[in-house]
Amino acid sequence: MMKHGPVDVVILAFGEARFDSSALEELKQLISAGTIRVLDLIILQKDEAGQCFRSQVGDLPPEQAAGLDLIEAEFGGLFDEEDAAILCEGMVPGAALVGLAIENTWAVALTNAIHAEGGELAFNFRVPAPIVEEALEQ
């Protein structure tokens, strides 16, 4: 029996570091609904001089840090310093980046039901939302 769902690593790039917490509210709703679980989070900012900084939740202003207690206590540490260095390389000065390791908890019960019937995942592929939008508009 599976205990965990598949994990997506999502990297969000912000050309200008401005957070109004609206995306955080959407994330919290998905967590509250049991759809996903955030296993880890990384926050990077690159200053105008090209120096990259990794921020901890405690380093953020209170209004930004308030909702970031969404990481499960037993997890974290999935993003390491090597990951931070690789991600920093691709950032432009003045930008911010948020990386999330998101477990698809919705898939646990479905996967267990499929396994109980003798099935298994043979192939998995994600089509990015912009490609779906473009295809459906034609």
Model confidence over 84-110: pLDDT tens digits? 999 999 899 999 999 999 999 999 999
Distance CA 42, CA 138 (A): 37
Is 1 contained in some domain?
A: no
**Per-residue model confidence as pLDDT tens digits over 47-96:** 999 999 998 776 777 766 666 666 665 667 889 999 999 999 989 999 99
Q: What are phi and psi of 88, to 5 degrees?
A: -60, -35
Is 58 contained in some domain?
A: yes
- Inform me whether the pLDDT recorded for 8 exceeds 70: yes
Domain extent, residue 23, equals 7-137
Is 99 contained in some domain?
A: yes
The total number of structural domains in the chain stands at 1
pLDDT at 69: 67
Is 60 contained in some domain?
A: yes
Pairing verdict, β 7-14 and 52-55: unpaired
Q: Which amino acid belongs to residue 3?
A: K
Taking the CA atoms of 82, 86, 91 and 97 in sequence, report the sign of the dihedral they define: negative
Is 68 contained in some domain?
A: yes
Is 108 contained in some domain?
A: yes
pLDDT at 27: 87
Is 2 contained in some domain?
A: no
Grade residue 124 by pLDDT with cuts at 50, 70 and 90.
Answer: confident
Distance CA 110, CA 114 (A): 6
